[in-house]
Amino acid sequence: MQAERLHLAGFERVKYFAPVAICGYLAVLCVALIITSAFLDNIRDAIAITAAGIFGLLMSGGLGAAILRVQLRELRYVTVPTHGSAEENFAAVIRMAESEGWRVTVNVPGRCLEARTRGSILTEGEFVVVRFRQSDVLVACITDPSVGFSLVGRRRCIQHRELVRQAVTAPK
């Protein structure tokens, strides 16, 4: 069964997947280097340039694939089963978001909540999306792409998901 993923749109998608695009661009340059080396007269230079091109292609392709895998995993929703209705869960999450100082960007009562967490002077903060389906709450959180994909950013996303889980599973 395919896990449900958060779909980014527009500039958010461009910002989020830019590292993968850069790795793809470097892989294309390495392929061009390999093709160009076929036209060299000196066989030693051709072999050295081809080897460098193959090494660069493997490294940039591997790095791009690894980054893409991590990004797609981070876009997956985590399902939190609850005993409350969608409206009760929404109210609990909106209270928690306001108390944490999150900036709510989309607010559809009982269905969806999108918010940016508190960032710093130079960053926007993490992007948190919460969907409500009957008694289930789906949570996705991604790091601010301008900061990069650091362990600190991933840890913050885990904390934000946990805050949502605690808000909807806390006794009422």
What global pTM score does this model have? 0.77
Residue 133 DSSP one-character state: E
pLDDT given for residue 2 in this prediction:
58
Q: How many angstroms separate the CA atoms of 164 and 38, rounded? A: 57
Q: How many angstroms separate the CA atoms of 37 and 23, rounded? A: 21
Q: How many angstroms separate the CA atoms of 4 and 72, rounded? A: 11
Q: What is the pLDDT of residues 132-168, one digit of tens each?
A: 988 899 999 888 776 666 677 788 888 999 999 999 8
Contacts of residue 75, defined as CB under 8 A and 6 or more positions apart, other chains included, come to 5, 6, 8, 140, 142
Beta strands in the chain (DSSP E): 78-81, 103-108, 112-116, 127-133, 136-142
Max CA pair span of the chain: 78
**Residue 152, CA distances (Å) to 92, 111, 158, 159 in order:** 26, 30, 10, 11
CATH 3.30.310.80 corresponds to the domain 78-169: yes
Q: What is the pLDDT of residues 106-124, one digit of tens each?
A: 888 888 999 988 877 667 7
The full set of domain ranges for the chain reads 10-74, 78-169
- pLDDT for residue 96 is more than 80: yes
pLDDT given for residue 152 in this prediction:
76
Q: What is the pLDDT of residues 23-78, one digit of tens each?
A: 999 999 999 999 999 898 898 999 999 999 999 999 999 999 998 998 888 889 99
| pLDDT band (50, 70, 90) for residue 172 | low
Q: How many angstroms separate the CA atoms of 6 and 115, rounded? A: 13
| pLDDT band (50, 70, 90) for residue 1 | very low
